[in-house]
Structures are given as structure tokens and as C-alpha cells.
């Protein structure tokens, strides 16, 4: 976590993971206003700047196996780069 001028931000290498988690929550629980319009643009930027990595794909697979539901915001990019 970076803290500057009383503003906290996650590390750049974690921002995409956080964005994809919010995308999933917004998708899984529609109508709850999980992502504001302002934050959607921020999370889209984070998603582009910090793409999925090997560990995120492994973690997503494990969660899917245990829970029985998928996170398409992680699974599809993992498949696209051959990490699934």
C-alpha cells in the first residue's frame, strides 16, 4: 500500500487484481452499486496496466474448483494468454 498526502493506493502490481475482483463482485451482485462510474474508469485503467499473472490464474482455478463458480474477468484473460 502506498500512502501519500493521506491518500492510500494499492501497489501498481496489485491494482489489476483488485480491479478484477470489483468487476466480479459488480457482475455477481448486479444492482448493488458496487462500482461507481468514476471508479469503473479507474478500475478499467488498472486492469489494462496490470494484466493477469500466473499466480492470479492459479488462484482463480483453485477458487473455481472449490466454489463451483467462475470469475470470467480473470479466467478469460488467463485463457487468452495460455495460462488456463
Q: Read off the pTM.
A: 0.88
Residues with Cβ within 8 Å of 79's Cβ and at least 6 positions away in sequence, in order, are none
Picking from 34, 5, 3, 30, the residue whose alpha carbon sits closest to that of residue 18 is: 34
- Say whether pLDDT at 42 is over 80: yes
Residue linked to cell 488467463: 78
Average pLDDT over residues 38-64: 96
What's the mean per-residue pLDDT of the chain?
94
Distance CA 7, CA 66 (A): 36
Burial tier of 31 (Cβ tally within 10 Å: 0-12, 13-18, 19+): exposed
- Say whether pLDDT at 28 is over 90: yes
* Residue 13 pLDDT level (bands cut at 50, 70, 90): very high
Amino acid at each position: 500500500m502506498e500512502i501519500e498526502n493521506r491518500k492510500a493506493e494499492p501497489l501498481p502490481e496489485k491494482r489489476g487484481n483488485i480491479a478484477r475482483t470489483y468487476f466480479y463482485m459488480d457482475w455477481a451482485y448486479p444492482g448493488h452499486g458496487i462500482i461507481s462510474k468514476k471508479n469503473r474508469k479507474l478500475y478499467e485503467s488498472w486492469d489494462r496496466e496490470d494484466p493477469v499473472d500466473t499466480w492470479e490464474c492459479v488462484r482463480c482455478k483453485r477458487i473455481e474448483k472449490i466454489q463451483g463458480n467462475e470469475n470470467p474477468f480473470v479466467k478469460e484473460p488467463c485463457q487468452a494468454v495460455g495460462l488456463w
